């Protein structure tokens, strides 16, 4: 049995899926659906015939969810078989006169020929989500994928092929962002978000050469010694129009457009240079993104940054998240971490407990420190367990997000070694650190700023 559901014979209208189309139109070799070029030609013709005062054509963009996982697990022949079944289901879901196409990979599109009401278009889209999300049987094995669908109509300000496909694409990605396996509908707000994202991307690419990036430093305190031990470097973007842009508004984008490695190298070099001016053995902690390990150049970059700044490796700590270790099939990340530790650089596991972090991650590499995420600071049992586990494995623990004296007392009681958070000090620009250090006095239990 190739498929768990059978396509309706009444709806299975053959490869081209367009009663009004010529018999010989370009089709996709794998699925028999209309191919990308033919789809664009049919959409262009539909838009050329359309008048704003009449019912408008609509486009559905369809993307299979979790297809890559099936392809990787079962192999490309099985993936191809699944795509053929998906194409059959696509034919069963659309109306006569509509045009269904495979644009490439696991991406499909449907032209809903006018006249079509918003209600009818939504029904077709919902039927696609339902049919494409049902189980598949490919080469004797069960497979499960879903479908995210985006819907957009031609409008007075959207009369070109690229504009309409672009709007349907935005709606489809919105459906994915909302949880996948659902229908997304284009709205002007989506366009505004897309425009803002495009402008933000352009501005972010120019931020480094224009000197708009800077580092702020958050104090870190050693609870055992009762004194300031160092700072964590935090990237800030001072936009000429938007002011100080929060990291959450641009770091994910930098990762998505693969700019994070270049930014990360700048952060590393700048942090080492500025930390070299600090007194004593005060350390600086720098976050390293998973992408920075991919080239295999991280060790050389760190070594050059330390040498150029004149900073001993023992005063640098690199913070990584579990995602770097999860994407390390060839051991490239682990090999670089081992080389960094040989340079006396400390390595810590950041945001412990918020993703896939577990004992297996801690055992995979001899971390110097485990950072307890701010979301666990109020959970005494979790803090106690992580602190005990870290100590038993020879790792120090740092709690982030400390905002009250009560939290600080609890963390000290449960055996945490270091703390940081707004109660102890907000992130400071590099220019403010010398003055801050000069105002530090020894309190009864902890170094604090004079007030």
pLDDT-based confidence at residue 353 (cuts at 50, 70, 90): low
Q: Which pLDDT score, from 0 to 100, does residue 361 have? A: 66
Write out the DSSP string of 241-259: TTEEE-GGGTHHHHHHTT-
**Least reliable range by pLDDT among 69-78, 178-187, 359-368:** 359-368
Q: Taking residues 132-155, what's their average pLDDT?
A: 91
Residue with tokens 């819907």: 151
Alpha helices in 368-425 (DSSP H): 380-392, 405-413
Most confident of 25-39, 129-143, 292-306, 343-357: 292-306
Contact 228, 448 (CB under 8 A): no
Class of the CATH-defined domain 199-449: alpha beta
Q: How many CB atoms lie within 10 A of CB 326?
A: 15
pLDDT-based confidence at residue 356 (cuts at 50, 70, 90): low
- Measured in whole angstroms, how far is the alpha carbon of residue 110 from the centre of its chain? 28
Residue with tokens 């005990």: 388
Q: Taking residues 317-325, what's their average pLDDT?
A: 88
Separation between Cα atoms, residue 234 and residue 253, nearest integer Å: 16
What percentage of the chain exceeds 90 in pLDDT?
A: 59
Angle at CA of residue 321, ends 414 and 319, nearest 5°: 75
Separation between Cα atoms, residue 299 and residue 280, nearest integer Å: 25
Q: Which pLDDT score, from 0 to 100, does residue 420 have? A: 95
Q: Which pLDDT score, from 0 to 100, does residue 246 have? A: 84
More confident residue, 359 or 144: 144
pLDDT-based confidence at residue 8 (cuts at 50, 70, 90): very low
pLDDT of residue 35 exceeding 50, the answer is: yes
SS3 of 260-287: the string is HHHHHHHHHHHHHHHHCCCCCCCEEEEE
Strands 396-399 and 369-372, by their bridges, are: parallel
CB neighbours of 105 closer than 8 A, spacing ≥ 6?
Answer: 67
Residue with tokens 């000197």: 211
Q: How many CB atoms lie within 10 A of CB 19?
A: 11
Nearest to 270 by CA among 309, 222, 221: 309
pLDDT-based confidence at residue 354 (cuts at 50, 70, 90): low
397: three-class secondary structure by DSSP: strand
Contact 265, 247 (CB under 8 A): no
pLDDT in tens, 410-451: 999 999 999 999 999 999 999 999 888 877 643 334 444 433
Q: Which pLDDT score, from 0 to 100, does residue 15 have? A: 44
CATH code for 36-186? 3.30.70.270
pTM assigned to the model? 0.72
Q: Which pLDDT score, from 0 to 100, does residue 16 have? A: 44
Residue 424 main-chain phi, psi, to 5 deg: -100, -20
pLDDT-based confidence at residue 157 (cuts at 50, 70, 90): confident
Separation between Cα atoms, residue 32 and residue 30, nearest integer Å: 6
Element holding 344 (H helix, E strand): none
Q: How many CB atoms lie within 10 A of CB 442?
A: 10
The answer to whether the bond into 115 is cis (omega within 30° of 0) is yes
Contact 21, 95 (CB under 8 A): no
Contact 109, 61 (CB under 8 A): yes
Task: Return the biggest CA–CA distance within the chain.
Answer: 87
Domain ranges of the chain: 36-186, 199-449
365: three-class secondary structure by DSSP: coil
- Cα–Cα distances in Å, from 343 out to 293, 311, 318, 395? 17, 12, 12, 18
Contact 332, 293 (CB under 8 A): yes
């Amino acid at each position: 049995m190739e498929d768990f559901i059978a396509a309706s014979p009444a709806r299975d209208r053959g490869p081209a899926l367009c009663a009004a189309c010529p018999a010989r139109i370009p089709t996709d070799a794998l699925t028999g659906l209309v191919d990308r070029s033919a789809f664009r030609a049919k959409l262009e013709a539909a838009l050329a015939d359309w008048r704003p005062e009449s019912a408008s054509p609509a486009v559905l963009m369809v993307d299979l969810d979790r297809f890559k996982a099936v392809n990787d697990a079962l192999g490309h022949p099985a993936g191809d078989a699944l795509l053929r079944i998906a194409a059959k289901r696509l034919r069963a879901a659309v109306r006569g006169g509509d045009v269904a196409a495979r644009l490439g990979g696991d991406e499909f599109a449907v032209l809903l020929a006018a006249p079509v009401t918003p209600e009818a278009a939504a029904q077709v889209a919902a039927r696609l989500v339902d049919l494409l999300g049902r189980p598949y049987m490919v080469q004797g094995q069960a497979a499960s994928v879903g479908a995210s669908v985006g819907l957009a109509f031609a409008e007075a300000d959207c009369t070109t092929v690229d504009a309409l496909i672009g709007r349907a694409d935005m709606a489809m990605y919105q459906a994915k962002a909302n949880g996948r396996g659902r229908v997304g509908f284009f709205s002007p707000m989506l366009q505004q978000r897309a425009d803002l994202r495009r402008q933000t991307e352009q501005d972010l690419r120019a931020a480094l050469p224009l000197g708009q990036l800077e580092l702020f430093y958050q104090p870190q305190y050693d609870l055992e010694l009762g004194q300031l031990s160092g700072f964590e470097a935090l990237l800030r973007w001072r936009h000429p129009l938007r002011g100080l842009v929060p990291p959450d508004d641009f770091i994910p984008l930098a990762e998505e457009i693969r700019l994070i490695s270049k930014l990360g190298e700048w952060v590393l070099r700048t942090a080492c240079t500025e930390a070299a001016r600090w007194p004593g053995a005060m350390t600086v902690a720098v976050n390293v993104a998973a992408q920075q390990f991919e080239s295999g150049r991280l060790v050389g970059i760190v070594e050059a940054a330390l040498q150029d700044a004149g900073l001993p490796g023992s005063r640098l700590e690199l913070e990584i998240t579990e995602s770097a270790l999860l994407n390390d099939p060839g051991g490239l990340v682990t090999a670089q971490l081992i080389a960094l530790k040989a340079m006396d650089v400390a390595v810590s596991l950041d945001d412990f407990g918020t993703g896939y972090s577990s004992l297996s991650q801690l055992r995979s590499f001899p971390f110097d420190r485990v950072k307890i995420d701010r979301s666990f600071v109020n959970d005494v049992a979790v803090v106690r367990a992580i602190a005990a586990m870290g100590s038993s494995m020879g790792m120090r623990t740092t709690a982030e997000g400390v905002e009250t004296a009560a939290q600080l007392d609890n963390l000290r009681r449960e055996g945490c070694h270091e703390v940081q958070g707004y109660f102890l000090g907000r992130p400071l620009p590099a220019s403010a650190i010398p003055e801050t250090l000069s105002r530090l006095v020894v309190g009864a239990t902890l170094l604090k700023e004079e007030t």
